[in-house]
């Protein structure tokens, strides 16, 4: 092994810290989310006898009933309650069935008929199907519920109407993200242009305005929009005072309110990268194109704009990806039809205590963002939108 020089040791030591931080703060939680999405240990580990029984045959018979009772007897009261709650996520009523059966397990004879006599639901194949599926260590029930795809009797997948709810919410999340991105770019581009090319005073004013809003808490800015847009809010008051509208408009608790507030919150993330790129575009190039006979519009479109696209891409990309994870702002300014995937992730964690579903929905979002970044990179390569070609496209 070649001896490392002191400087190399120092470099490696310096590198170790960020790598460890990255592993601990990013990859480890990600791995645990991945595990949560399919892990069924909380159930499977508590049903060893039943699990072994189902390994031999799937039929709910006397042996299966005996195994079930053995497992229930071995569990503590609190463990039965948790197992019941997890079953209940798949089929309503399972919780009380497990708790009641478990509580009386010592008095029930280990036969299927005795079990069915205790509670007739144990005679239903659907109940046994849910039990059988969930004593396995890996579960796909969260993925099935999130995609709406259920295994059909023929071996393929089927989707019942209404089961695509989370796919539709995912689509909505992307649509809102795109709406917000488009708006921030439309509003941000002229502002960034002014900040990059205007007089010293204009630059200072625009930058100050952008940074002030950047430094203000997200909640404060969101609440400010509620005050502005609500029924008796400032905007409606102004419009009615000007006699432009006879009665207040619904500006909040709908898509309009959500998109406007999100656009404002995210605007600095679009403007700042655009300013950075625009400042690197030499003013002499635009002047040269003008002196060579191009009008202001042609000169802007053919010389300036192509070179600024890199900033647009960075700003727009940042806004879009940040927008996908938004939660508080649409919750306070949007309606029920404008809630994004994060709202449902939080809802599953908090109200449902269903961390499996929350994990699956988080993975959905992550996979989509990664897919988008990858396809963006591929597109850029296909169209040759690299730094040098953008510059050459501008000058050529």
CB of 242 to other proteins, least distance (A): 20
Find out whether 104 and 13 touch, Cβ atoms under 8 Å.
no
The DSSP result for 132-178, as a single string, is HHHTSSB--HHHHHHH--EE-TTSSEE--TTTTHHHHHHHHHHHHHH
Identity of the residue, 357 or 363, whose beta carbon is nearer to other proteins in the bound complex = 357
CB of 112 to other proteins, least distance (A): 23
Report yes or no: 235 and 224 within 8 Å, Cβ to Cβ: no
* Phi, psi of 154, deg, nearest 5: -80, -5
Q: What residue has token string 């619904």?
A: 250
Binding site for other proteins (CB under 8 A): 76-78, 81-82, 84-85, 88-89, 91-93, 95-96, 99, 145, 162-163, 165, 168-169, 172, 230-233, 248, 250, 252-253, 331, 335-337, 344, 347, 349-354
Contact 91, 130 (CB under 8 A): yes
For the CB of residue 380, give the shortest distance to other proteins in the complex, in Å: 34
Minimum distance, C-beta of residue 307 to other proteins, in the bound complex (Å): 43
* 158 strand-pairing partners: 150
Task: Return the SS3 of 77.
Answer: helix
CB 208 within 8 A of CB 224: no
Cα(first)–Cα(last) distance of the chain, in Å?
53
Q: Which is nearer to other proteins, 62 or 82 (CB)?
A: 82
Least Å distance, CB 353 to other proteins, is 5
CB 253 to other proteins: min, Å:
5
> Shortest distance, CB of residue 260 to other proteins, whole angstroms?
16
DSSP code for 107: G
Instruction: State the CB neighbour count (10 A cutoff) for residue 378.
Output: 10
For other proteins, the closer of residues 231 and 375 by Cβ is 231
For other proteins, give the closer residue by CB, 161 or 293: 161
Query: CB 372 → other proteins: shortest distance, Å?
Result: 22
**CA–CA distance, 196 with 206 (Å, rounded to integer):** 10
Nearer to other proteins, 78 or 106 (CB): 78
The SS3 of residue 266 is helix
CB 250 within 8 A of CB 169: no
CB-CB contact of 335 with 253 (8 Å): yes
CB nearer to other proteins: pick between 189 and 225 = 225
Q: Are 255 and 270 in contact (CB under 8 A)?
A: no
Residue with smaller CB distance to other proteins, 169 or 260: 169
Residue closer to other proteins by CB (options 182, 349) is 349
């Amino acid at each position: 092994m070649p001896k490392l020089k002191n400087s190399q040791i120092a470099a490696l030591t310096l590198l170790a810290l960020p790598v460890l931080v990255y592993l601990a703060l990013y990859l480890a939680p990600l791995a645990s989310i991945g595990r949560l999405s399919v892990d069924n240990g909380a159930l499977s580990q508590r049903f060893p006898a039943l699990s072994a029984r189902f390994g031999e045959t799937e039929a709910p018979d006397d042996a299966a009933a005996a195994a079930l009772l053995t497992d229930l007897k071995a569990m503590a009261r609190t463990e039965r309650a948790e197992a019941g709650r997890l079953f209940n996520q798949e089929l309503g009523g399972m919780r009380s069935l497990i708790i009641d059966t478990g509580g009386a397990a010592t008095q029930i004879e280990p036969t299927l008929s005795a079990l069915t006599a205790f509670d007739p639901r144990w005679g239903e194949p659907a109940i046994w199907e849910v039990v059988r599926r969930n004593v396995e260590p890996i579960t796909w029930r969260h993925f099935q519920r999130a995609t709406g795809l259920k295994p059909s009797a023929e071996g393929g997948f089927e989707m019942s109407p209404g089961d695509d709810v989370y796919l539709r919410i995912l689509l909505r999340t992307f649509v809102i993200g795109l709406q917000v991105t488009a708006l921030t770019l439309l509003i941000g581009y002229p502002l960034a242009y002014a900040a990059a090319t205007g007089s010293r005073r204009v630059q200072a004013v625009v930058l100050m305005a952008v940074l002030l809003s950047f430094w203000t808490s997200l909640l404060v800015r969101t609440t400010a929009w509620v005050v502005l847009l609500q029924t008796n809010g400032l905007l409606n008051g102004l419009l009615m005072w000007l006699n432009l509208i006879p009665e207040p408009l619904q500006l909040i608790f709908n898509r309009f309110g959500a998109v406007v507030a999100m656009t404002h919150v995210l605007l600095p993330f679009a403007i700042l990268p655009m300013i950075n790129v625009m400042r690197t575009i030499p003013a002499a190039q635009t002047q040269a194109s003008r002196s060579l006979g191009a009008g202001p519009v042609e000169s802007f479109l053919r010389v300036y704009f192509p070179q600024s696209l890199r900033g647009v891409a960075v700003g727009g990309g940042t806004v879009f990806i940040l927008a996908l994870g938004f939660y508080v702002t649409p919750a306070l300014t949007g309606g029920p039809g404008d809630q994004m995937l994060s709202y449902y992730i939080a809802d599953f964690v908090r109200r449902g205590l269903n961390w499996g579903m929350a994990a699956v929905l988080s993975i959905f979002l992550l996979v989509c963002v990664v897919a988008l970044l990858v396809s963006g990179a591929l597109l850029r390569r296909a169209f040759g939108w690299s730094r040098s070609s953008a510059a050459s496209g501008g000058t050529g």
